[in-house]
A and B are shown apart, each in its own frame.
Chain A
Amino acid sequence: MLGMSRAGLAERWTLFVGALLSVALGVALVQSSLLLLISAAQQSSDDAAVPMLGIVLGGAVFLAGFVISSTFAFTVDQRRRDLALLRLVGGSRRQVRRLLLGEAVLLGLGGAAIGVPAGLGVMAVQTWLMRRFEFVPPAFTGEWRMWILGVSVGTGVALAVAGVLVAARRAARVRPLEALRESGPAARVMTAGRWVAGLFFFGGALALVIVAPHGGPAGGQAMAMNVAMPAAVAVVAFGPLLVPVLARLVPFGGGVLGSLARANVRDARRRSASVAAPLIVLIALVVGNTGAGESFTASGVDEMARSTHADFVVEGTVPARPGVATVSAETSLDAQVVTGSGEDQETTDVTALVIDPRAYAVVHGTSVDVHGQAVARGPGGEVSTSGSVRVRLPGADLGELPVVASVPEMMSGGASLLLPPGLVPAAALAQAPTRSFVALAPGADASAVRADLARYGPVFTAGDWLRADAEQRNSTNDKVMLVVLGLGGLYALIGVINSIVIGAATRRREFAEARVTGLTRGQVVRSALLEAYAVTGAALLLGTVAASAAFFAVLATTSAVTGSATLKLPWPLFAAVAAVALTVTGVTSLITSLSATRRPPVTLLAARE
């Protein structure tokens, strides 16, 4: 069987380049993310680096699994006739399965052989990105471990074998008679597995959309950010039903080429769906998650703007001044909250604000009644609203303190603990930064007061400060998105290219037939291009549908948390992704169909296999 595997791979190499590339890239990404994660966990670096790398690693495994299994399923589907032939001359179901698994192992090993060195390149890029965005100090380096070789080879083989398992089971049920039909009754595309997976992930996405508004600001945001993935998988599962229907809505123009392209999209549902799948995931993840992130930021800014009743924000401590009605001076401290004891003891890093409760209430529009030996739960959440907490500050252990009050959690987060004055020793306060929210007295001269306040630190109008604060938050958000989604997006695009290349490799004969029927080479190429555009259009639409599921969760969550539903759609990003998708599918389709029609049609039609 291994001999057959090898011979098969050598003969149909164009069919397998895609599968090999997707395994190699999967190995490279997983290896690089894993090495960086371990390096980051050992070298002391920014707290954000480890969780972010965790997300990247998870995303890499998900995408690798997804792209590899869909690529394999597609290559197996394209070879149904070969496999039927094997059955016809006496191959058993087990042998068909073993053949495909053998191929998968070879592809896994080959993919690892390419992926390990490629992983070093990926690691250099990822390290550069992370240094650039200050997730890690400039001196940070990803360290090579010898054992990663074993992990990478194992990853390659495991990904490839897992990817082919379902397809192999399906292929083993190919009937021998299918070898005798030139274009057999296309295998049923909406398999039971697709229905189950589609409904399962649809249910998952729906559950997240329903539960997110009840998850509070932090939980709700986390859930909403996780809607796009299952929604995309559900849409992809129903792809063979949806893609051809939508693709036919794309205006092809009249004429013979348009109708040929339309017929091809309808006839090759499997191929259309398999080109669309990675695009759907790409759009859903990038547009859905970026849109959700931006919307939450916008919602947080609106909420802050509505609840902040200050005229100026001063980065410094402002005493009582003429023309000033209220000053809420807030000193920010890095605190640790300790919960539990003994084995179960857990420490959480939070931000604590030392406030004047009366002034805080006036400026932030929410009463907070805390004094003496007690704390209040701040807008950042993370601490329970009752009971007691043990608070540690750098250089001072405040001991067990009751939580006597709380302010509503805010979309944009903030401090988790509000401490009354007098609780914190002066020594601990000495180095901590203080920000003052200043409300003017009625009738005061704003510019005169502003000039006066400048003595205590940089002065901003409240509006400017909120915008700057949001922009800063947003840019951290964008950076994370860029690192996490950038590589994933690239991977999804490679999945698209794979599908088109595999599709074209098996279309030589079809193209040749079209040409002997009287189409010129140019017409064949143009019709393939039209088809690619129709499928891409359908994929963009379906990706948007999946992304919309995330947007529903965003609307419901922002409405529940802040009282006003907010949605900010990332139109420029969507336009950019759509342009990239159309360019990639267009160019790939052009190159592959040109190369598939390079030889004169007769040479192709003469060979009967």
Chain B
Amino acid sequence: MTMTPAAVALHGVSRTFGRGPSAVTAVDDVTLDFPRGGWTAVMGPSGSGKSTLLHCAAGLERVDTGRVLLGSTDLTSAGDAELTTLRRTRIGFVFQSFNLIGALTAEQNVALPLRLAGKRPSRSVVRATLDAVGLADRARHKPRELSGGQQQRVAIARAMVTRPEVLFADEPTGALDSTAARTVLDLLRAMADAGQSIVMVTHDPGAAARADSVVFLRDGRVVDRLAGADARGVADRLAAWER
């Protein structure tokens, strides 16, 4: 055991889709630690199993073999009720397609996880969270009245309102232009600096370079790990592995 236990630890995790000759092993015997209080980026070619790895790490996808530990909680043996509770309290998600509920305003979307947890969210907490992503003035807008970057920031606010141990993000900037993407990355950087553990899948070397370390995946296996590299360094390494 290291001094600071990992936020999320994977031990020999495998996940295969399908059966017989058409079976695809999306994640192949991966053992990996995502450090607490750090921002880890996951990169790799399309279809290399990044999303599947993230889903397994977050308890959204069943694993075939291996164990996934969130802190000291074993996700692989948790039942549906326990996983639901974890999603309410200890895990936050952000995805490429923002996945806000269209019927609810930004404010209501952000308050939703708290309300699902049976708490009465105080307006000030919700407002403060929206304020942190720079959207205090858009609280009463519905998702369709917001730009893509704004919707993604509402999604981040929704993920952060429960103060989760780990924030999982799958290509959070994938659908955004470079300006909106920078705003989102700045936000994540500030959160990581404040001690938030973040696991982020991305295609963009520029985005990966903002993280503390980068994990490279190929054919479902971890092939490399890089710390403190700049965009150039990440891009070179990625190019090397994609060859």
Contacts and interface: CB of A to CB of B under 8 A. Distances in A.
Interface of A: 4, 7-8, 10-12, 82, 85-93, 95, 175-177, 179-180, 182, 607-609
Interface in B165-179: 170, 175
Contacts of B80: 93
Given A177-B60, A177-B61, A608-B148, A82 B116 contact: no
Contacts of A608: 97-98, 143, 148, 151, 175
26 contacts: A7-B108, A8-B103, A10-B103, A11-B103, A82-B101, A85-B99, A85-B101, A86-B101, A88-B60, A88-B87, A89-B112, A89-B116, A90-B84, A90-B117, A92-B81, A92-B116, A95-B116, A175-B60, A177-B55, A177-B60, A177-B61, A180-B95, A608-B97, A608-B98, A608-B151, A609-B101
B116 A86 contact: yes
Nearest to A180: B95
B113 interface: yes
Given A176-B60, A177-B61, A89 B87 contact: yes
A609 B116 contact: no
B116 A607 contact: no
Interface residues of B, number: 34
B100 interface: yes
Contacts of B116: 86, 89-92, 95
B144 A609 contact: yes
Contacts of B99: 85, 88, 179-180, 609
* A-B residue pairs, 3 tightest by C-beta: A11-B103, A90-B88, A609-B102
Interface string B120-139: 00000000000000000000
Contacts of A85: 99, 101
A87 B97 contact: no
B55, B98, B116, B148 — which one has the most chain A CB atoms within 10 A of its CB?
B116
A93 B80 CA distance: 9
Given A86-B101, A92-B116, A180-B95, 8 more contacts: A11-B102, A82-B101, A87-B84, A91-B84, A92-B81, A175-B60, A180-B99, A609-B102
Given A89-B113, A90-B88, A182-B97, A7 B151 contact: no
B153 interface: no
Nearest to A175: B60
Main secondary structure of the interface of A (DSSP, over half): helix
Given A7-B104, A608-B148, A608-B151, A89 B97 contact: no
Nearest to B155: A89
A86 B98 CA distance: 13
Contacts of B103: 7-8, 10-12
A85, A86, A92 — which one has the most chain B CB atoms within 10 A of its CB?
A92
Contacts of B102: 11, 607, 609
A87 B100 CA distance: 12
A12 B97 CA distance: 20
B3 to A, nearest CB: 31
A177 B59 CA distance: 10
Interface string B63-96: 0000000000000000011001101110001010
Contacts of A90: 84-85, 87-89, 113, 116-117, 162
Given A176-B60, A608-B151, A609-B100, A89 B158 contact: yes
Contacts of B89: 90
Contacts of B175: 608
A583 B152 CA distance: 45
B134 to A, nearest CB: 20
A97 to B, nearest CB: 13
A354 B84 CA distance: 80
A402 B85 CA distance: 79
B79 to A, nearest CB: 11
Contacts of A179: 99
A607 B143 contact: yes
Contacts of B98: 608-609
Contacts of A89: 87-88, 93, 112-113, 116, 158
Contacts of B151: 608
B1 to A, nearest CB: 30
Nearest to B108: A7
A520 B143 CA distance: 28
Nearest to B100: A609
Contacts of A11: 102-103
A95 B115 CA distance: 11
A311 B232 CA distance: 110
A88 B108 CA distance: 16
Contacts of B93: 88-89
A238 to B, nearest CB: 27
B109 to A, nearest CB: 9
A7 B102 CA distance: 10
A176 B143 contact: no
Contacts of B144: 607, 609
A608 B151 CA distance: 9
A175 B84 CA distance: 11
B200 to A, nearest CB: 15
Nearest to B59: A176
A92 B88 CA distance: 9
Contacts of A609: 98-102, 143-144
B97 A92 contact: no
Contact of A92 (B84, B112, B158): B84
A180 B54 CA distance: 13
Contacts of B95: 180
Contacts of A91: 84, 116
Nearest to B83: A176
Contacts of B117: 90
Interface string B145-166: 0001001000000100010000
Contacts of A180: 95, 97, 99, 170
Contacts of B61: 177
Contacts of A175: 60
A4, A8, A12 — which one has the most chain B CB atoms within 10 A of its CB?
A4
Contacts of A10: 103
A22 B104 CA distance: 27
Contacts of B100: 609
Contacts of A176: 60, 87
A12, A86, A90, A608 — which one has the most chain B CB atoms within 10 A of its CB?
A90
